[in-house]
Amino acid sequence: MLDLVAVREGGSVADALDIALRTARHVEQLGFVRYWLAEHHNMPGIASSATAVLIGHIAGATHSIRVGSGGVMLPNHAPLVVAEAFGTLAELYPGRIDLGLGRAPGTDPLTMRALRRDRVESEDDFPRDVAELQQLLAPPQPGQRLVATPGAGTRVPIWLLGSSLFSASLAAQMGLPFAFASHFAPRLLLQALELYRSRFQPSEVLQQPYVAIGVPLIAAEDDAQADFLASSTYQRVLGIITGRRGQLPPPVHGFLQGLHPQERAAIADFLGAAVIGGPQTVRTGLETLAQATQADEFILVSDVHDPALRLRSLDLAAQALRDAQAAVQSANAA
C-alpha cells in the first residue's frame, strides 16, 4: 500500500497520522507485503512530508510488514543524509525498510527552491546520486573516507520510482526493482514496463526484472457505493488538475455527472489504472490489470474519506486478490 497520509476535511494532521497508523496495522493483518509513504511538501492535504520520521513511527507500531518510501525525492536531499536516515531505520527495524527513490521535486517551484536552496539540477545528477547512495549503504571499502554511520553495510533495498521512461531505463541499467506511478500517470505504463524488462541488466541485488505498479483502488459492497466513495478521489484529482489542492473532501452523489466533459476526461486519464467497484468488479479489474502488465506487485492507493470504509475497501481488495490467486492455482492444477 502507498499512503500519502491524506488530511481530511473536518480532520487534523494528528488525525491523518493516526489513521495512517491504524491502516498500516490493518493491512499487516491482511497480509500486505509493504506499506510505503510518499514525500510531498507544502500541500495542505498531505501529511507525509517528513517521510523518514513517519516510516519510523509506522515501523515501530507494526511487527512484520515492510515499511518504506514511495518515495523519497532524492534531488531534495544529499545522499549522505538519506543514507544516515534510512541506515538508522534499518538498524532499528532490520529487514523491514525499503528505500524508494524518485527524481521529481514532489512540490511546487517555490517550495523546491526552499528545499534545495540555490542548487541547479542536471539530468546526470539523479543517476550519480543513486550510485552514491548505493555505495554509502554498502559495506565500506578499505580507505573509504566518507562512511555513513549508521548506514554503511545495511544494504537497504533501493527501488527506482517513476512516471516516465527515464527511471524505467535507469532501473534497467542499474539492475534495480522498478515501481511505476500509474496511480496518477498511467499513460506510459505499458511502454515503461516493456522498456524496463527489455533492457534489464542483472545486478548483485536483482537477477530478474521486478515491477510494482500503482493502482488507485476503492472497493465497496456494490459498484454504486464504490463510485460514491470514489467521488472524494475524483474531487481531489480535479483539484490537482486545476491547481486547487486541498484536504480530502467527503463524497458527494453524482459528482462526475455535474462536470464538464473535458473535466471528466481529465479525471479518467489520471485514474486510468484505477479499480473501483463491488467485489466482483474489483476482482475482474485486478485480474485484467495483472494480465496486461504481468506486475509482480500492486501498490494500492485508497483515498476514502471515512477511515472505517477505507479499511473495509482494503478488506474487499484483499479478498478479491485471494479469490483471483485461488482461481489461477485451480486452473493450473487442472
Enumerate domains of the chain plus CATH numbers: 1-162 (3.20.20.30)
Confidence (pLDDT) at 93: 98
Please compute the mean of the pLDDT values over residues 145-167 and round it to a whole number.
96
Confidence (pLDDT) at 173: 98
Confidence (pLDDT) at 41: 87
Torsion of CA 267, 273, 276, 279, to 10 degrees: 170
**What does the block give as the cell for 79?**
545522499
Please compute the mean of the pLDDT values over residues 25-51 and round it to a whole number.
95
pLDDT band at 260 (very low <50, low <70, confident <90, very high): very high
Confidence (pLDDT) at 123: 59
Radius of gyration of the chain measured on its C-alpha atoms: 20
In this predicted structure, the answer to whether residue 48 has a pLDDT above a threshold of 80 is yes
Q: Tens digits of per-residue pLDDT, 62-106?
A: 999 999 999 999 988 999 999 999 999 999 999 999 999 998 765
Phi/psi for 71 (5° steps) reads: -140, -175
**What does the block give as the cell for 164?**
516516465
Cis peptide before 71 (omega within 30 of 0): yes
In this predicted structure, the answer to whether residue 121 has a pLDDT above a threshold of 80 is no
pLDDT band at 330 (very low <50, low <70, confident <90, very high): confident
Confidence (pLDDT) at 236: 96
Q: Tens digits of per-residue pLDDT, 264-293?
A: 999 999 999 999 999 999 999 999 999 999
Query: Among residues of the chain, what percentage have pLDDT more than 90?
Result: 85
In this predicted structure, the answer to whether residue 322 has a pLDDT above a threshold of 80 is yes
In this predicted structure, the answer to whether residue 119 has a pLDDT above a threshold of 70 is no
Q: Tens digits of per-residue pLDDT, 185-206?
A: 999 999 999 999 999 999 999 9
pLDDT band at 112 (very low <50, low <70, confident <90, very high): low
Higher pLDDT, 115 or 311: 311
Cα gap 104→67, rounded to integer Å: 21
* Residue of 278, 305, 300 lying closest to 289 (CA atoms): 300
Please compute the mean of the pLDDT values over residues 33-42 and round it to a whole number.
94
The overall average pLDDT reported for the chain is: 93
Cα gap 238→257, rounded to integer Å: 13
Confidence (pLDDT) at 246: 94
Instruction: Return the percent helix, strand and coil in the chain, to nearest 5.
Output: 50, 15, 35
In this predicted structure, the answer to whether residue 107 has a pLDDT above a threshold of 70 is no
Cα gap 22→16, rounded to integer Å: 10
What distance, in Å, lies between the first and last C-alpha atoms of the chain? 32
CB 35 within 8 A of CB 320: no
Cα gap 106→51, rounded to integer Å: 12
Residue 186 DSSP class: G
